[in-house]
Structure 1
Amino acid sequence: MKDIIITIIITIIFLIIFSLYGVGIVSAVASTNMFVMLLIIILFIALIATLIYVMIRRIKEIKEEDKDDISKY
Protein backbone atom coordinates (compact mmCIF):
# COMPACT_ATOMS: atom_id res chain seq x y z
CA MET A 1 0.00 0.00 0.00
CA LYS A 2 2.88 2.33 0.77
CA ASP A 3 4.29 1.90 -2.74
CA ILE A 4 0.96 2.88 -4.30
CA ILE A 5 0.74 6.06 -2.24
CA ILE A 6 4.33 6.99 -3.12
CA THR A 7 3.58 6.39 -6.82
CA ILE A 8 0.53 8.66 -6.67
CA ILE A 9 2.41 11.41 -4.81
CA ILE A 10 5.30 11.37 -7.29
CA THR A 11 2.84 11.48 -10.19
CA ILE A 12 1.03 14.46 -8.68
CA ILE A 13 4.34 16.29 -8.19
CA PHE A 14 5.31 15.69 -11.83
CA LEU A 15 1.83 16.73 -13.00
CA ILE A 16 2.23 20.03 -11.17
CA ILE A 17 5.72 20.56 -12.62
CA PHE A 18 4.58 19.74 -16.19
CA SER A 19 1.54 21.98 -15.81
CA LEU A 20 3.62 24.90 -14.59
CA TYR A 21 6.10 24.47 -17.44
CA GLY A 22 3.21 24.21 -19.89
CA VAL A 23 1.57 27.39 -18.62
CA GLY A 24 4.91 29.20 -18.68
CA ILE A 25 5.74 28.17 -22.22
CA VAL A 26 2.24 28.85 -23.54
CA SER A 27 2.19 32.30 -21.94
CA ALA A 28 5.61 33.02 -23.45
CA VAL A 29 4.50 32.14 -26.99
CA ALA A 30 0.95 33.45 -26.66
CA SER A 31 1.79 36.55 -28.66
CA THR A 32 3.24 34.52 -31.52
CA ASN A 33 1.63 32.09 -33.91
CA MET A 34 -1.59 30.38 -32.75
CA PHE A 35 -0.51 27.12 -34.42
CA VAL A 36 2.66 26.96 -32.34
CA MET A 37 0.69 27.58 -29.17
CA LEU A 38 -1.79 24.80 -29.98
CA LEU A 39 1.06 22.45 -30.82
CA ILE A 40 2.69 23.11 -27.45
CA ILE A 41 -0.62 22.62 -25.63
CA ILE A 42 -1.16 19.29 -27.40
CA LEU A 43 2.39 18.24 -26.51
CA PHE A 44 1.89 18.95 -22.82
CA ILE A 45 -1.51 17.23 -22.78
CA ALA A 46 0.14 14.17 -24.32
CA LEU A 47 2.91 14.27 -21.70
CA ILE A 48 0.39 14.51 -18.88
CA ALA A 49 -1.73 11.68 -20.33
CA THR A 50 1.37 9.50 -20.67
CA LEU A 51 2.33 10.22 -17.07
CA ILE A 52 -1.11 9.18 -15.84
CA TYR A 53 -1.03 6.04 -18.00
CA VAL A 54 2.36 5.04 -16.57
CA MET A 55 1.07 5.63 -13.04
CA ILE A 56 -1.90 3.34 -13.64
CA ARG A 57 0.35 0.62 -15.09
CA ARG A 58 2.72 0.94 -12.13
CA ILE A 59 -0.13 0.59 -9.64
CA LYS A 60 -1.32 -2.56 -11.43
CA GLU A 61 2.25 -3.88 -11.32
CA ILE A 62 2.47 -3.24 -7.59
CA LYS A 63 -0.84 -5.01 -6.95
CA GLU A 64 0.27 -8.03 -8.99
CA GLU A 65 3.55 -8.19 -7.07
CA ASP A 66 1.59 -8.26 -3.81
CA LYS A 67 -0.46 -11.20 -5.09
CA ASP A 68 2.67 -13.02 -6.20
CA ASP A 69 4.34 -12.44 -2.84
CA ILE A 70 1.36 -13.83 -0.96
CA SER A 71 1.21 -16.95 -3.11
CA LYS A 72 4.87 -17.75 -2.37
CA TYR A 73 4.12 -18.58 1.26
Structure 2
Amino acid sequence: MAEHDSGVPAERLDDRVLLRELEAIHRTRHETLLHGSAEALATHTARMRELEAEYLRRHPARVPAAGRTRAGARARATEE
Protein backbone atom coordinates (compact mmCIF):
# COMPACT_ATOMS: atom_id res chain seq x y z
CA MET A 1 0.00 0.00 0.00
CA ALA A 2 1.46 3.34 -0.96
CA GLU A 3 2.39 5.64 1.89
CA HIS A 4 0.31 8.54 0.51
CA ASP A 5 -2.81 6.36 0.19
CA SER A 6 -3.24 5.07 3.73
CA GLY A 7 -0.35 6.04 5.90
CA VAL A 8 2.95 4.39 6.60
CA PRO A 9 3.14 0.74 5.48
CA ALA A 10 2.35 -1.50 8.44
CA GLU A 11 5.66 -3.36 8.26
CA ARG A 12 7.48 -0.06 8.89
CA LEU A 13 5.57 0.74 12.10
CA ASP A 14 7.12 -0.12 15.45
CA ASP A 15 5.02 -2.30 17.76
CA ARG A 16 3.69 0.59 19.83
CA VAL A 17 2.52 2.54 16.78
CA LEU A 18 1.09 -0.58 15.15
CA LEU A 19 -1.08 -1.23 18.21
CA ARG A 20 -2.15 2.42 18.33
CA GLU A 21 -3.12 2.28 14.63
CA LEU A 22 -5.08 -0.94 15.20
CA GLU A 23 -6.96 0.57 18.12
CA ALA A 24 -7.84 3.65 16.08
CA ILE A 25 -9.00 1.74 13.03
CA HIS A 26 -11.18 -0.58 15.08
CA ARG A 27 -12.65 2.41 16.91
CA THR A 28 -13.66 4.06 13.61
CA ARG A 29 -14.86 0.91 11.81
CA HIS A 30 -18.54 1.13 12.74
CA GLU A 31 -18.86 4.78 11.74
CA THR A 32 -17.13 4.10 8.41
CA LEU A 33 -19.40 1.15 7.73
CA LEU A 34 -22.56 3.11 8.47
CA HIS A 35 -21.70 6.48 6.99
CA GLY A 36 -18.62 6.24 4.78
CA SER A 37 -18.66 6.21 1.00
CA ALA A 38 -17.92 2.97 -0.82
CA GLU A 39 -14.40 4.25 -1.48
CA ALA A 40 -13.88 5.18 2.18
CA LEU A 41 -15.06 1.76 3.31
CA ALA A 42 -12.81 0.00 0.80
CA THR A 43 -9.81 2.06 1.92
CA HIS A 44 -10.63 1.46 5.58
CA THR A 45 -10.99 -2.29 4.98
CA ALA A 46 -7.69 -2.51 3.10
CA ARG A 47 -5.82 -0.63 5.84
CA MET A 48 -7.44 -2.68 8.59
CA ARG A 49 -6.45 -5.91 6.85
CA GLU A 50 -2.91 -4.65 6.34
CA LEU A 51 -2.52 -3.71 10.00
CA GLU A 52 -4.09 -6.93 11.28
CA ALA A 53 -1.97 -9.09 8.97
CA GLU A 54 1.19 -7.35 10.19
CA TYR A 55 0.19 -7.85 13.82
CA LEU A 56 -0.46 -11.56 13.21
CA ARG A 57 2.83 -11.90 11.31
CA ARG A 58 4.70 -10.46 14.28
CA HIS A 59 2.81 -12.51 16.85
CA PRO A 60 2.16 -15.94 15.30
CA ALA A 61 2.23 -17.73 18.65
CA ARG A 62 -0.25 -15.45 20.41
CA VAL A 63 -2.50 -17.39 22.76
CA PRO A 64 -6.22 -16.63 22.40
CA ALA A 65 -8.17 -15.97 25.57
CA ALA A 66 -10.18 -19.04 26.58
CA GLY A 67 -13.44 -17.12 26.26
CA ARG A 68 -12.62 -16.17 22.64
CA THR A 69 -12.55 -19.75 21.37
CA ARG A 70 -15.42 -21.98 20.25
CA ALA A 71 -15.05 -24.10 23.37
CA GLY A 72 -15.18 -20.96 25.52
CA ALA A 73 -18.28 -19.72 23.70
CA ARG A 74 -20.00 -23.07 24.24
CA ALA A 75 -19.09 -22.99 27.92
CA ARG A 76 -20.63 -19.51 28.26
CA ALA A 77 -23.80 -20.66 26.51
CA THR A 78 -24.30 -23.52 28.98
CA GLU A 79 -23.86 -21.11 31.91
CA GLU A 80 -26.75 -18.91 30.79
Report the TM-score range of the alignment, normalised by the length of the smaller protein. 0.3 to 0.5
* Larger RCO (alpha carbons 8 Å, 6+ apart): 1
Q: Which has the larger radius of gyration?
A: 1
TM norm structure 1: 0.41
TM norm structure 2: 0.38
Instruction: Decide which structure has greater helix share.
Output: 1
